[in-house]
Amino acid sequence: MSTLSLFRKVAVAEGISYIALIFIAMPLKYFANMPLAVKYTGWAHGVLFMFYVVMVIMCWMEYKWKIGKTILVFLASLLPFAPFYVDKKLKEEPVGQVKA
């Protein structure tokens, strides 16, 4: 499995965990008095976020991404639906251009 395909999988998992944290766990905590939902979902999201950052750095080094692209891909992890957009864009890139 290439670094890029692993990164794409991590990006999707991180995006799902972020959405679950914001739109499921947080309402459960504040409206249903279930704080454990945030504890466990937040923990999983934190681990996936760290993997995401490590994978961004690995892709930056291996595929020689420009610093602007690297920063944008990192910033995408801070917006709930942006990791799915990153995955889509990386999937659309021709293989020969990924390492350019």
Q: Read out DSSP for 13-76?
A: HHHHHHHHIIIIIHHHHHHS--HHHHHHHHHHHHHHHHHHHHHHHHHHHHHT--HHHHHHHHHH
The residue among 14 and 96 whose pLDDT is bigger is: 14
Per-residue pLDDT at 93: 79
15 pLDDT band (50/70/90 cuts)? very high
Q: What is the mean pLDDT of the chain?
A: 92
Per-residue pLDDT at 23: 97
Per-residue pLDDT at 95: 57
d(CA 66, CA 27): 39
The residue among 26 and 98 whose pLDDT is bigger is: 26
Residues 58 and 3: beta-carbon distance below 8 Å = yes
Residues 18 and 82: beta-carbon distance below 8 Å = no
Tokens 């976020």, residue? 49
Section 4-23 average pLDDT: 96
